[in-house]
Structure 1
Amino acid sequence: MQYLLIIGAFQALIALGMLAAGHKRRPADSLLGWMLACMCAHLSIKFVIYGFSGSMELKAGFNTFIDLAYGPLLWMYAQKVHNDKYVPAKQWFLLLPTLLAAGAYLAITYGIVNEGVKSMSRYIDMYNRSTERLIIASFLIYPLLVLNKSNTLPSFWASERKLIRRMAKLFLVVPNIIWLMNNIADNMGLFSVETRIIVIRVVAYSNIIVICISILKFRLFQEQVVSGECMAEEQVQPTEPITETLLVPEEKELHIARKAAQADLELRRQVADKLLLAMERSKRYTDPDLTLEKLATALQVPRNLVSEVLNQHLEKTFYQFVNEFRVKEVIRLFNRCKQQGVSPNILSLAFEAGFNSKSSFNQYFKKHTGQTPSEYLKLERRATAETGIAAYG
C-alpha cells in the first residue's frame, strides 16, 4: 500500500510541476493544478498514516476530507473551459463541505495525538458516516453535471473535452461501484471488514493515479498542439521522396528544415488571413467581451498560435489589433451620421463599435488618429463648412 501511495503522490507532484512550468498555460489550467495539488496532498496524508500509524482503524477507516474537493474542482474546470470569463472564486461555497470536513478531520487528528485512537473512536465513526454520504453524493452529482456541460464545448476544445469526460467518468463510476459492491459484500457477510476496506482503498488510490496520468498526458499533448508542432509535421511530409533520397544527410536535413520553415510561415499567413476576415467581415471586434481565448475558439485556431501571429506576423498586441478596428468602425459611424445630417453621440457610437469604457476609447482613438474624438469631429465639421463655402463661392 505504501508503495502505491508514494508512487501516486510523486506522479501528482510531477504533473503539477509540468503544469506550473509550461509556457503554454491556459486560464483553466490553474484549476487542474489545484486538483493535482489535492491529489498529491491526499496520497501523502495516507502515506503518512500507513507508514507511521500502527492503528488499523486509522489505516483502513479514516476518510480523507480531500475526496470532497474533486467534484467541485472538476465542475469549475469544465465551467472555465466553457467560458474564460467564469470566475471560480465566486462559487467558493461549493468547497464549503470540504472546508467543514477538513476542520473536523484536523480536530479528530489533534484528539488522536493527545488522547489516543480508542478515545476518539466514536468521533471517527461519526465523521466517517457523515463524509461517506457527502463523498458519494459529490461523486454522483458533479460528474453528471460535468458530462452534461462537456456536450456544449465546441470542437476546438476536443482535447479538454476528452480529459473532462474521462475524469468525470472515473469519478462517477469507480467510487459508486466501490460503494455498491461494499454494501453487497457487507449484507452477504463476504470477507472481513478490514479486507474489504483495504481493497476499497487500493482501487480508490489507483483511480486517483489514473486521473493524474490522464492530466499528465493531456499536458504533454497540449504543449505539442499549441506550439503548432502537429500542424507543421503534417505539412512537412516530403512530397518528392525520390529527390530527397538522392541528397546527402546534411543537405537532406537542410531541405527538410527549409520546408518546415516554409510550412510554418504559410500556416501563420493563413491564421493572419483568418484574423483579418474575422474582423472585416464578421466584425468580431463589436463584441465588448471579446478576448484572445474567445477569438481563437471562434477561428478554431490554438490560442497561443493566434497570439504568436499577432505579435510576430502582424506586430501588434491583441488589444491593439482589435481596438484599431473599433476606431475605424467609430470613424465609419461618424461619417454615416454626417451623411444623414445627424449629430453623433460619441460614447454611444464607441460602445456600438465594441469599446466598453470611455477611457480606453479616448486613448486608442487619439493614438490611432492623433486627435481626440471631439477634436476629430470639429475638424470634420470645419472641413465640411469650408467645402460648402467654397462650393457656394
Structure 2
Amino acid sequence: MSDFGLQSLSPLFYWAGIFIAFFSSFLILGKSKKVTADYVLAIWFMIIGVHLIFFVLFRAEGYLHFPALIGFEIPFPFMHGPMLYVYILCVTNQNSGKKIWLVHWIPVLFIYIALFQFLMLSPQERLAVYQNKGKGYETLSQVIKILMIISGILYVGLSLLAVRKYKREISNQYSNTEKINLNWVYYLIIGIALIWVAVIIRNNILIFSMVVLFILVAAYFGISGVGILDYSAIKIEDTMENVPVENISEVPKYEKTFAGEEAIQEIYNKLVIQMEKEKLYKDPELNLNYVAKLLDVHPNILSQTINFVENKNFYDYINRQRIEEFKRIAVLPENGKFTILSLAFESGFNSKTSFNRNFKKYMDCSPREFLKNQSIIME
C-alpha cells in the first residue's frame, strides 16, 4: 500500500521540517490581527506536520514498529490540494463560504471509507498486507495512487484559475496594479506542483525533502504577513472606510440585471465630463470606488458602464486616458526639457514598466518610437 523502504537523508532534516511546520502554525495563530487565510495556513501547516511525522516513523521500514498507524497516512496527500486552493481563495478574497470548503474534503472522506475494511484489520494483519506489498489490496492501492495524482493536478489547475480570475477582476477595480503582488501565490502553486511531479515519479525522499523546503518558504511568507495587496498604497475613500482591511481588494461583481442603455449612457457622459474636467486619471492610485463616489453611482454600475460603452475594464479605460494625456503633453514644445518617464508620471503612471507595457499595448510601438515619428527627441 505504501513505499517507505527508501534510504534517505538524516532524520534530523525531517524532524526539523516537522518542528518548523508546527512552530509556524502556532506563530501564525499567535498573530494579533488574524484573517481567515491565517487560520487556513495554520491548519495546513499542522496537516503537513502530521504527514511528515508519518513519513519519519515509517521510513526505512519503520512501520514495523508502528503497525497500529498503518493505513491512516494514506489519505493525507488528498488534503494538500484542497488546503492550497482554499488558502488561495482566502488571500484573493474569493471566499465562497465555509460550507463549500467542506465539499473539497469529500474525497478524503471517501478514501477513508474505501479503506475502512483495511483499517478494521488488526495491526498485525495490516502489517502483513504491507510486507506482502498490498496483497489482496493491489487494485485499491493502484486506484488510490491514480486518484492522488488526479487530485494534485486538479487542485494545481483550480488554484491557477483562481489566481487568473483574481487578476482579471482586480483590473475592474484599480487603475494601477503594480502594487498588487501575486508572487506569493505563484510560489505556493509552483512549490506544490513540483512536489506532485515528485509524487508522479514516485520518489518519496524527493517528495518529503521538497515538502520540508516548501514549509520553510511558506512559513516565511505566512508569518511575515506578505500579502497580495499593498493596502497602504491604495487610495481608500469614505465609501470604503467601514470595510475590513482584508476585504478591501474584493472586486465588485456585476449585478444580475442590466442598468439599461439610457442610464448607462447618462453615467458614461458624467464620467467623461469628470475625466476631461478633473483629469482623474492623473491620480496614480485612482480606483473604481473613488470614481463611483464622485459620480454618485454604485461601483458595480460604473464598472458595467465602462465595460458596455468602452468594451474595457476599469484598468484599461484609465490607462488609455493616461496614454492619450502623455501623447498630448509630450508634443508640447515647452515639455521638451523633460524626460519621457517624468511625463509618464505626470500622466498618471506610477512605474516605467507599467507605462511602457500599456503604451505598446495601445499604440503598437514604444514611447520612444512614437516620439521619433513626431520628430521629437527626448531622454
Q: TM-score, normalised by structure 2?
A: 0.51
CA separation in 2, counterparts of 1:46 and 1:105?
A: 19
Rounded Cα–Cα distance in structure 2 between residues aligned with 1:33 and 1:166: 17
Residue 30 of structure 2 corresponds to residue 9 of structure 1 = no
Q: Indicate the residue corresponding to 1:88 in structure 2.
A: 98
Counterpart pick for 2:84 among 67, 74, 83:
74
The structure-2 alpha-carbon separation of the partners of 1:7 and 1:128, relative to structure 1 and needing over 3 Å to count, comes to: farther
Q: Does 1:147 align with 2:160?
A: yes
Give distance in 2, aligned partners of 1:97 and 1:24. 33
Deviation at 1:148, TM superposition (A): 2.7
Q: Does 1:221 align with 2:224?
A: yes
- Quote how far apart the aligned CAs of 1:48 are: 2.6
User: CA offsets per residue over residues 268-292 of structure 1, 9 Å max, x none?
Assistant: xx99xx55xx12xxx447xxx9544
For residues 301-316 of structure 1, the aligned pairs below 5 Å read none
The corresponding residue for 1:115 is 125
Residues 284 and 63 of structure 1: is their aligned pair in 2 closer, same or farther, counting only changes over 3 Å? Answer: closer
Any conservation in 1 of the 2:118–2:126 contact (CA below 8 Å)?
Answer: no
- Are the equivalent residues in 1 in contact too, given 2:78–2:107 (CA < 8 A)? yes
Percent identical pairs in the alignment equals 13
Between the aligned partners of 1:293 and 1:39, the Cα distance in structure 2 is 26
Partner amino acid, structure 2, of 1:138? S
Aligned-pair distance for 1:116? 4.7
Tell me: CA distance 1:56–1:297, structure 2 relative to 1, closer, same or farther (3 Å).
closer
What's the CA shift for 1:4? 3.7
| Displacement of 1:13 | 0.8
Read off the aligned partner of 2:121 and give its amino acid letter.
G
**TM score, norm. by length of structure 1:** 0.49
1:24 match: secondary structure: coil
Partner of 2:47: 38
Distance between the aligned counterparts of 1:144 and 1:224, measured in 2?
Answer: 21
How many residues are treated as equivalent by the alignment? 232
Aligned CA distance change for structure 1 residues 128 and 171 (closer, same or farther; 3 Å): farther
How far is the alpha carbon of 1:118 from its aligned partner? 2.7
Secondary structure (helix, strand or coil) at the match of 1:28 reads helix
Of 135, 146, 150, the residue aligned with 1:137 is 150
Residue 105 to residue 3, structure 1, CA distance change in 2 (3 Å): farther
Matches within 5 A, 1:136-285: 136-151=149-164, 152-153=166-167, 154=170, 155=177, 158=180, 161-176=182-197, 178-179=199-200, 181=201, 200-222=203-225, 274-275=235-236, 278-279=237-238, 283-284=239-240
**Per-residue deviation, 1:39:** 0.3
- The separation in 2 between residues aligned to 1:139 and 1:18, in whole angstroms, is 28
Q: Are the aligned partners of 1:31 and 1:76 in contact in 2 as well (CA < 8 Å)?
A: yes
- How far apart, in 2, do the equivalents of 1:293 and 1:28 lie? 10
> Counterparts in 2 of 1:39-54, with a 5 A limit?
39-50=48-59, 52-54=62-64
Structure-2 residue corresponding to 1:264: none
Q: Deviations over 1:312-345 (max 9, x none)?
A: xxxxxxxxxxxxxxxxx9xxx9xxxxxxxxxxxx
1:16–1:36: 8 Å Cα contact kept in structure 2? yes
Whether the aligned pair in 1 keeps the contact of 2:198 and 2:206 (CA below 8 Å) is no
Find the aligned partners of 2:179 and 2:98 in 1 and give their Cα distance. Answer: 19
Task: Name the structure 1 match of 2:27.
Answer: 18
Q: Is the 8 A contact 1:71 1:143 kept in 2?
A: yes
- Corresponding position: 1:293 with 2:296: no
Aligned to 1:243: none
Structure with larger RCO (C-alpha < 8 A, sep 6+): 2
CA distance in 2, matches of 1:77, 1:12: 16
Following the alignment from structure 2 to structure 1, what is the Cα–Cα distance between the partners of residues 70 and 119? Answer: 15
Offset of 1:30 from its aligned partner? Answer: 1.4
- CA RMSD of the aligned region, Å? 4.1
In 2, distance between residues paired with 1:52 and 1:206? 18
Q: Normalized per residue, which structure has more helix?
A: 1
- Matched residues in 2 for 1:125 and 1:208: separation? 27
SS in 1 for 2:36: coil
**Cα 1:223–1:49, aligned 2, differ >3 Å: closer, same or farther?**
same
Q: Which amino acid aligns with 1:137?
A: I
* Cα 1:108–1:60 shift into 2, 3 Å: closer
* Structure 1: unaligned runs, 5 residues or longer: 183-199, 232-266, 299-328, 334-393
Read off the aligned partner of 1:148 and give its amino acid letter: L
